[in-house]
Amino acid sequence: MSLTIEQLPFGAMPDGTQTSLFRMTNENGAIAEVSSYGATLVGVIIPDKNGNMTRVVKGFPSIEGYLADLEINSYLGATCGRYANRINRGRFTLDGEDYQLACNNGENHLHGGPTGYHCKNWDARIEDDTIVFSLTSPDGEEGYPGNLKMEVRYGWSITNELSIHYSAVGDKNTPLNLTSHAYFNLAGQGDILEHEMQIFADKFVPIHADAIPTGEILLVKDSAFDFRQPKAIGCDINKDEEQLKNGSGYDHCYVINKKEFGDLALAVSVKAPSTGCCLNVWTTLPGVQFYSGNYLRSDVLSCDGKPLAYRHAFCLEPEFFPDSPNQSGFPNCILPAGEEFDQTIIYQFSTEE
């Protein structure tokens, strides 16, 4: 068998519910860890260019860290939903009805609200070489319409590809935007400013000072947001540009270059020169949110024995665009009743000299 899967205790939720950690080890010794709590990606460990095993995804060693993080809301590695990213003032209109969602980011709704999917204990099972998490979200939860049944499937290959497949069906039309909020540091430690990144996008979504989209889609050309050719994350991050000020760095959605919505496309490539560890992000979704860890911190130690710190990890969150329920010019994020949501993210890890 090319993949070994262990199920380990991960700690108890405040109501006493026990959570689990699933450790997937491929025949080359590389590891991916996921938890039933938040259907969370807890860690990825791969060899660097010198053969040293390097933890390239940030996480906490037990549920206690994630419970403490609810005060900070880093969403470390979590599955975010029902709608990942922000919705302006938590309001939208669908089928002639006005909806008010819980607001947990100033006046706005973020990542599904204060009791979103990131802090639920998902049902879990091992199915062949995949870990399957399932959850039912009831009608009206956090203000959303319809009962929604979801599955998130994690797979880990011999070539260090972490696949995440999302499926869902609801009984009412509903906005739906599920993503992974994984935090990466391909050097394993220190800040991420020397990571070399290429984003396969000619355009991005500008934001107001409260991080809500303006409704425009702008070209990246001649701006700090141009990653069409590889460059260090820190190269332009401190430039005097309004959009960098609005995001306190990079916290923006990029419009992935692809022929058709639903195509599996390469969105981002990243490399840490110090370790040679690389990441390619593939997705069927239309956008990817690049967040440079501008507010990252923790009061507890992560899996590497250190607290999380400012710009010591970055996120690449494949997604529908933020505030899409209120933006007619953005890709349609509404899942019709009875139809299946079927989206895929692949985090492809490798090592170069």
Give catalytic residue positions.
181, 317
The span from the CA of 299 to the CA of 296, in Å, is 11
Tokens of 184: 């990466």
Closest of 241, 242, 252 to residue 322, by C-alpha: 252
The span from the CA of 300 to the CA of 137, in Å, is 30
Residue with token string 């108890």: 12
Q: Do 111 and 84 touch, CB atoms closer than 8 A? A: yes
Residues contacting 310, CB < 8 A, separation 6+: 191, 293, 294, 295, 296, 297
Q: Do 203 and 213 touch, CB atoms closer than 8 A? A: no
Residues contacting 62, CB < 8 A, separation 6+: 10, 11
